[in-house]
Amino acid sequence: PDVVTAKDTNPGLAAAELTRLLVQKGQAGIAVVGGMGPYAMHMSLKTVLMASRYMQKHMKENETLLAVACSQAVPAKDGDGEGPLPIRTPDPKAKMS
């Protein structure tokens, strides 16, 4: 990731860094914000939200900041240490309960 967050990250400072990177990269610029764990990901989302406000003065009227959230499962070892547990990917056709 270009900007890494943790549970104690100051999202305003991270957003300023993200804004700097996006302005530096130009109109087609892409930057990745990431973290590990729910609190870090909360700060990542907060960082993107704040950066969208900071970016307004650098964008034209018809431009917008696009963010895509995704998660990655890291295989864990089972209790016996015999190897990674299977990663279950959700079935997109399954009904939400």
The predicted pLDDT at position 59 comes to 86
- Structural domains in the chain (count): 1
- Is residue 46 in some structural domain? yes
The predicted pLDDT at position 30 comes to 87
The predicted pLDDT at position 93 comes to 66
- Is residue 64 in some structural domain? no
Segments forming the whole domain that contains residue 23:
3-58
| Averaged pLDDT for residues 44-62 | 91
CB of 76 within 8 A of CB of 41?
no
Residue 33 has pLDDT above 50, yes or no: yes
- Is residue 81 in some structural domain? no
- % residues pLDDT > 70 (the chain): 77
